A and B are shown apart, each in its own frame.
Chain A
Amino acid sequence: MSLKRVNPEQPKTFEFSEKFKNIAEEILKKYPKKNKKSAVMPFLYLAQKQNNNWIPLAAIKYISKYLTMPYISVYEIATFYSMFNLSPVGKYFVQVCTTTPCLIRGADKIIKVCKQKISEKENQVSKKGECSWTEVECLGACVNAPMMQINNDYYEDLDEKSTAKIIDSIFKNKILEPGSYRGRKNTSPENIKTINGTDHA
């Protein structure tokens, strides 16, 4: 993971839309009044959701005022977590896991495909803005390694061929189904379908 760069082009203002504001108020109710800054992470997530999957500086300022926190504290949190994007990402945001189990199972090959198909560099949005990719730390699906996350879905048990297929489908704007690409159901064993004579998983 490299340090997240703040996008040079920033919108001047940011404000929660009516719908998100209601959600934000609901979130605030979960915390005691004196600890309302606890809501900073869900708020950042909301802001990201509202603003095409990235957080502009104006949103950081807006949230820090909303929760009466210093700007720098919100900024620290936004830069700490890899789930918060500080510059625009593609409509389909591909996160490839490169932590040890995935790497042993060939995550570097998936990275290679991403470089060829999407963009030369990490976090670079493809020409038409459909897609961008990044390396991330463990996404907790080691049993289906190697894997990648596209927006909210996990694509598992990948190899070069299947990755290429998925990315091509992104460009056609008809994305394939998530899940295992070697025919496994969730995390069930690949070859032995039954354990102790009964259907498992």
Chain B
Amino acid sequence: MPKILINGKEIEFEPGMTILQACELAGVEIPRFCYHERLSIAGNCRMCLVEMDKSRKPIASCAMPATEGMNIKTNTEMVEKARKGVMEFLLANHPLDCPVCDQGGECDLQDQSLYYGVDKSRFSENKRFVSEKYMGPLIKTQMTRCIHCTRCVRFATEVAGVPEIGAIGRGEDMEITTYLEKSMESELSGNVIDLCPVGALTSKPYAFSARPWELKKTESIDVLDAVGSNIRVDTYGWEVKRILPRLNENINEEWISDKTRYSCDGLLKQRLDTPYIKKDNKLVKSSWDEAIDVIIKKIKETESSQIAGHLGDLVSLEGTLAFIKFFELLGSKNLEFREKKFYINPENKMNYLFNSSINGIEKSDLILLVGCNPRHEATILNARIRKTYRQNKTQIFSVGDPGDQTYEYKIIGDNTQTIKDIIEEKHEFNSILDKSKRPLIIIGESALELDTGGYIFEELKNFLLKKKLITDKWNALNILIQNASTVGALDLNILNNKQNSFEFFDNIKSKKFKILYLLNSDNFKFEKNDEFIIYQGSHGDRGAEIADVILPSAAYTEENGLYQNLEGRVQECRKASYPAGEAIESWKVFNKITYAYKNKNLFDSFNTLRDELFKKIINFKDINQLPNFKEPSKKINCNFKHEKIFINPIDYYFSNSISRSSKVMSDCRDIKLKILKSGTDN
């Protein structure tokens, strides 16, 4: 490997690195504003100037490739003077409003001017003023503070794939704006706030609500979709003030979706803080004891086969296990987690995972989407697909029309016949597939929902097995799960080995059930008959509306819990705040009911629950690790039917009870609907 001299220290670097990256290897910190490792190089802030031998002028280290034998110095007088000069220029037009700026305390400009800047300015003219720009309900702008690093512009065009932000004018009059000040049409737009090194782009909902140093920071994970993005939850007392991304190269890199970031105001609204009982068709506040008495009385007078439970989308593994154990105790096997009838085969763990892993997307050379819309179903995963599309020019094909995905793809068919042709190797796509070494097939829930869902899944799997594309080295079979609780629920055998039967849905329809226990389940749509409905959850949403008894429990930021993401990675969600009012953790609710019912605890402590859980997770390796690979065993034959593959649209900003309670999300949704109405061309 080539070598470079940095401050007299010799360092080996990989060819293709820039001087700045080599300096980082040497442990030398270079101040920078415009450079960001995940974006293209702009080289316009000039903060990273360093001295190089045989160069009379300082050079911009972020844009200069490192070469063999360079002698770089970063601690000389020249560098110091250059940094001071750049800093003075940057601050010439920057307002001195740090005391009222939301970025204060976590501002790159503030920090770097402290370390590398000068204490006075020689600029005696008037500072420039730039009018505020409207960028939608999520991003607050204060463009006078902008230092034109263009990180936001590069993020929007490169990562988010919505080239809507740009720099207009030039020289002193340059301004960053969206085209005609429209809001940014991206599910990743919130990330420009983290990218902005100054306070020009800040979070609108979080404006003036807290200072970074007074917040308690909890490292946790997101559960609003099945990707399991790593987040940091910032709380002030009980309130969750904001949610920020946490670096995880395996999942979300350093981005999170807008839903993850901005749903947090939903955690403060519509909360269930005390048990309720329906009396004379009205929900009345009650105590825990009263509510549990009502439930137990009802359970005792009902046959166990007439009790059913539905698991919601945000439940942790602990909650799921407690739910299942509780139903074992009642002697009922009527459990379901699906909101719609889609085909799932829980016989092997592989059958419900994104097996290639999110990192694997980058290794792939061909992607086939089957009835899924990754942009809305798994935004962060879609960002990864776009990344590989940009970097490796990966070809992307789709069966079914998922709409704008921020990258180019080719639709090769819109019905099940296309899939059959591919399986029977009669389709022209097969020649492309045969050439590919690491293809990736992503099957969405919309495809599995079809009557042919079983055929699509099983036959594609057999096809891939035949092609030797399901091995422990490369597994091309991927299911795009939408809910955070799904993989965990299947691992804990919630369906009781009843494979692919829709018994639960049929029984609901034929009014067989007398008691229906909804655990955080708000998205399950059914016609209510005279069932006695128990709703346990955190938000007064669709489930609570129809409930006869409501038991309040914690939201995901308020309890410790494990979640399995769509890759089967077990991650820990940590308690950042405490449950609202009288609400308690969801597993404790089951303990409470069991104690009143059978006079014994379901679990002695949280630790025994965790231990039991670790034993039950299939192919479990370790926390934050992908599961082990297990060879699939038997083949299942399913019937084929000619059908059109229609991708069910998702109400992205309204997909779960927390985001439905959030005002910010509903603002975003309104704007999106308005754009849809007027057409994308304004």
Q: Which of A38-77 contact B (CB under 8 A)?
A: 57, 61, 70-73, 75-76
User: Which residue from chain B places its CB closest to the CB of A65 in the assembled complex?
Assistant: B681
A2 at the interface (CB under 8 A from B): yes
A3 at the interface (CB under 8 A from B): yes
Are B170 and A80 closer than 8 Å at their CB atoms? Answer: yes
Interface string of B135-166 (1 = CB under 8 A from A): 00000000000000000000001000001111
Given contacts A72-B163, A73-B163, contact A57 B180 (CB under 8 A): yes
Task: Tell yes or no: A124 within 8 A of B by CB.
Answer: no
Chain A interface main SS type: helix
Q: Are B166 and A76 in contact (CB under 8 A)?
A: yes
Q: Chain B contacts of A72 at CB under 8 A?
A: 163-166, 178-179
Whether B175 sits at the interface, judged by CB under 8 Å, is: yes
The tally of CB-CB contacts under 8 A between chains A and B is 37
Q: Which of B169, B175, B178 has the most CB of A within 10 A?
A: B169
How far in angstroms is the closest Cβ of chain A from B445? 32
Q: B171 in the interface, Cβ–Cβ < 8 Å?
A: yes
The residue among A1, A72, A80 with the most chain B CB atoms within 10 A of its own CB is A72
CA distance A80 to B681 in the complex (A): 24
**Is A36 interfacial (CB-CB < 8 Å)?**
no
A-side contacts of B167, CB under 8 Å: 76
Q: Mark B55-66, 1 if CB is under 8 A from A, else 0.
A: 000000000000
Given known A70-B163, A73-B166, contact A2–B179 (CB-CB < 8 A): no
Q: What's the least CB distance linking A60 to chain B, in Å?
A: 9
A61 to B171, CA, bound (A): 25
Task: List the A side residues contacting B622 at CB < 8 Å.
Answer: none
B165 / chain A contacts, CB cutoff of 8 Å: 72
B168 contacts A79, CB within 8 Å?
Answer: yes
Let me know if B667 is at the binding interface, CB within 8 A: no
Contact yes or no, B173 A1, CB < 8 A: yes
CA distance A72 to B165 in the complex (A): 7
B163 near A76 with CB under 8 A, answer no
Q: Does A115 lie at the interface of the complex (its beta carbon under 8 Å from any beta carbon of B)?
A: no
Shortest beta-carbon distance from B152 to chain A in Å:
12
Please pick, from A61, A71, A79, the residue contacting B169 in the complex, using a CB distance under 8 A: A79
Q: Are A3 and B175 in contact (CB under 8 A)?
A: yes
Contact A80 B179 (CB under 8 A): no
Q: Is the Cβ of A75 less than 8 Å from the Cβ of B168?
A: yes
B-facing residues in A15-42 (Cβ within 8 Å): none
Residues of A close to B681: CB separation below 8 A: 61
Q: Closest A-chain residue to B157, C-beta based?
A: A70
Cα distance A70–B168 in the bound complex, in angstroms: 14
Query: How far, in angstroms, from A80 to B166 measured CA to CA in the complex?
Result: 11
Chain A, residue nearest B167 (CB) = A76
CB pair B163–A80 under 8 Å, yes or no, is no
Q: Are B164 and A3 in contact (CB under 8 A)?
A: no
Task: Find out whether the CB atom of A4 lies under 8 angstroms from the CB atom of B169.
Answer: yes
CB distance from B75 to the nearest CB of A (A): 38
Closest chain A residue to B165 by CB distance?
A72
Residues of the B chain whose Cβ atoms lie less than 8 Å from the Cβ of A1: 171, 173
Q: How far is the CA of A70 from the CA of B163 in the complex (A)?
A: 6
Q: A75 and B166: CB pair below 8 A?
A: yes
Closest CB of chain A to B6's CB: distance in Å? 37
On chain A, the residues within 8 Å of B164 by CB distance are 70, 72
B148 CB to closest chain A CB, in angstroms? 13
Chain A residues with CB under 8 Å of B168's CB are 3, 75-76, 79-80
Separation in Å of the B360 CB from the closest CB of chain A? 30
Question: Are A3 and B166 closer than 8 Å at their CB atoms?
Answer: no
Least CB distance from A114 to B in Å reads: 21
A80 is contacted by which of B157, B169, B178, B180 (Cβ under 8 Å)? B169
Cα distance, A191 to B5, chains bound together (Å): 62
CB distance from A44 to the nearest CB of B (A): 14
Q: Which residues of B contact A57 (CB under 8 A)?
A: 180
Question: Chain B's nearest CB lies how many Å from the CB of A95?
Answer: 17
Write the residues of chain A forming the contact surface with B, with a CB cutoff of 8 angstroms.
1-4, 57, 61, 70-73, 75-76, 79-80
Q: Residues on B close to A: CB < 8 A?
A: 157, 163-171, 173, 175, 178-180, 681
Q: A70-B157, A70-B163 are in contact. List 15 more A-B contacts (CB 8 A).
A: A1-B173, A3-B168, A3-B173, A57-B180, A71-B180, A72-B164, A72-B165, A72-B166, A75-B168, A76-B167, A79-B168, A79-B169, A79-B170, A80-B168, A80-B170
List the 4 shortest-distance A-B pairs measured between CB atoms, nearest first: A70-B163, A72-B166, A79-B168, A3-B173
